[in-house]
Amino acid sequence: MQIFALLGLTLVIVAWILQLLSTIKGSKSIQPQFVLFYLIGVIFLVIDGFAAGLNDLAFLNLISFLVSLAVFIRLVSREHEHPKPIVRSKPIVKSKAKSKRKKK
């Protein structure tokens, strides 16, 4: 059953890499993709822990999963409450007639 542990830890590492890349790009918020990959990775660690008879470790991973799930639900529900604004590819140019003033 070691495959579950390897898969789980690999997904957790991928999650952290995604979050790091987002941070490098300037984001200071937790990315839903990070939490999603982390959740999937941790559930594999929970399965591995129970399968290997490491109930204490599995239970702690389960707690980590539940807390991360709460964060994920909050992030996703917040995106639905406050959708991201539409970003225009070209800036809106103001009319020159309005911006010119007569000099006295």
| For range 55-61, the mean pLDDT | 96
| pTM score | 0.72
* Residue 86 forms part of a structural domain: no
Residue 2 has pLDDT above 80, yes or no: yes
Q: Which domain holds residue 39?
A: 2-81
* Residue 93 forms part of a structural domain: no
* Residue 88 forms part of a structural domain: no
Number of domains in the chain: 1
- The per-residue pLDDT for range 62-102, each reduced to its tens digit, is 999 999 999 999 999 887 676 566 565 666 666 565 555 55
- The per-residue pLDDT for range 17-46, each reduced to its tens digit, is 999 999 999 999 999 999 999 999 999 999
Q: In this structure, is the dihedral angle defined by the CA atoms of residues 34, 25, 84 and 88, taken in order, positive or negative?
A: negative
* Residue 100 forms part of a structural domain: no
* Residue 24 forms part of a structural domain: yes
* Residue 17 forms part of a structural domain: yes
DSSP state letter for 52: T
* Residue 22 forms part of a structural domain: yes
* Residue 36 forms part of a structural domain: yes
